[in-house]
Amino acid sequence: MAKPMTKTQLVAALAEEMGSDKKTATNALDSIVSVITREVSGGGAVTLPGVGKFYLRERPERIVRNPATGEQIKKEADKVVKVTVAKALKDAANG
């Protein structure tokens, strides 16, 4: 498995793809992340065409087990961010 691309590498690749400088690419990337974070944390969903859909899912209260002691405890309801990968990305990854 290849090492994940760092933010610096992503900004450089984005700048090259856009035909722009790294500062503009950094601002674009930070803006996209900010919009996704704001929308999803507010309960909405964001779809990036060809990449996937980011959304918030609520999990109900449930009983979980402590693996060290075997003790069962009640875990309160919480929220989790989910990502559904787009078919186009899956197809590209699978050849």
Domain extent listing, the chain:
1-42, 45-95
**Token pair of 34 as six digits:** 């900010």
CA 65 – CA 80 distance, rounded (Å): 19
Note the pLDDT of residue 3.
92
Note the pLDDT of residue 95.
85
Instruction: Compute how many other C-beta atoms are within 10 angstroms of the C-beta atom of residue 11.
Output: 20
Note the pLDDT of residue 33.
95
- pLDDT-based confidence at 1, cuts 50/70/90? confident
Note the pLDDT of residue 30.
96
Asked if the 45-95 domain carries CATH number 3.40.50.800, the reply is no
Q: What is the pTM of this model?
A: 0.79
Q: What percent of the chain has pLDDT over 70?
A: 100
